[in-house]
Amino acid sequence: MNNLRKIAAGSLAAVLAFSMAACGSSNASSDGTGESTGKAVTVNEKSAKATSLADFGTMEDLEKAAKEEGALNVIALPHDWSNYGEVIESFKKKYPEIKVTELNPNASSKEELDAAKTNKGTDAAPDVFDVGQAIAATSTDYFAPYKVQAWDKIPDTAKDADGAYYADYTGIMSVGWNADKYGDISSLDDLLDPKFAGTVALNGKPAEAGAAFNGYLMANQLAGGDINNLQPGLDYFKKLKEAGNLTTVDVTNGTIDSGQTGVVFDWTYNQASYKKELKDKGVNWKYKTFPKAQVVSYYNQAINKDAPHPAAA
């Protein structure tokens, strides 16, 4: 796990440079220095210190504590991402006593941590995180150690040894596009064609969002790089920007529907969702993975160490 953290830290430094040089920087502040609109909250000390179900007693005891809190704040869980819409609705149905507040569904992994920092000590802080591997491995100071019921069944390579986080879902990085408008795409070099002007997008900023980070890694690998040599990916995206084809617009269903982001680097499970939605609108959305760059990365679940509702979390 220590080696993983070193690799993640080094990779983040490289893609941070990429974000500034190739994609441009944003004037929007996301450093967590804004003022919170939440109210001060008193947290149950027993729930806050729990590191496993045993500290609550039984599952019924945990459920009772969560219902007494009566709320759960989630963040970065868009309903069309990895079936989260159905998961959230199922939770609400099972626990109607617990009000679920959905904070910034399109937040990047970094913005999740910023929200925790800004709203620390208030009822507006996120209770749980859903973050990419690079952010998870380098941000354990934000997480409360907690080993879920199935902890022993989770492979050691898919969890933090101390219980800070665990992996729970993954996909393969891919490129998706409007085939009706752009035809076929056989390689990433095709995206340098002028017909893709201003429409090629990563899903977020590589230094902040797991999807964008891994999109960068896929391009880097296809360009001849590896985890120890990230320069080819940087060179590729510089060329894409110089060609006028790279856009830094945040990818949403709306930008895809409108064609503003006509080519998107994203996970296969998101591409499948885009394809299904666009098919109903008469648009042929295709996506493909590349055998020479099968980039796979887990997303990870963690509890905010300053969660206002730790039992519900």
User: Which uninterrupted H or E stretch holds 8?
Assistant: helix 2-18
Q: What was the pLDDT predicted at 207?
A: 84
For the record, the structure tokens of 304 come out as 């905010």
Burial of residue 45 (CB within 10 Å: 0-12, 13-18, 19+) is exposed
Model pLDDT, residue 34: 61
pLDDT in tens, the chain (313 residues): 444 333 344 444 455 444 434 444 343 333 344 667 788 889 999 999 999 999 999 999 999 999 999 999 999 999 988 889 999 999 999 999 999 999 999 899 999 999 999 999 999 999 999 998 889 999 999 999 999 999 999 999 999 999 999 999 989 999 999 999 999 999 999 999 999 999 999 999 888 888 999 999 999 999 999 989 999 999 999 999 999 999 999 898 889 989 999 999 999 999 999 999 899 899 999 999 999 999 998 899 999 999 999 999 9
Query: Across 191-243, where does the E strand assignment appear?
Result: 200-202
Give strand pairing partners of 302: 129
- Encode burial over 257-293: b for 16+ CB neighbours within 10 A, e otherwise: eeeebbbbbbbbbbbebbeeebeeeebebbbebbeeb
Q: What's the chain's average pLDDT?
A: 89
Domains and CATH numbers, the chain: 2-169+299-304 (3.40.190), 171-297 (3.40.190.10)
User: Whole-angstrom Cα distance, residue 192 to residue 243?
Assistant: 6
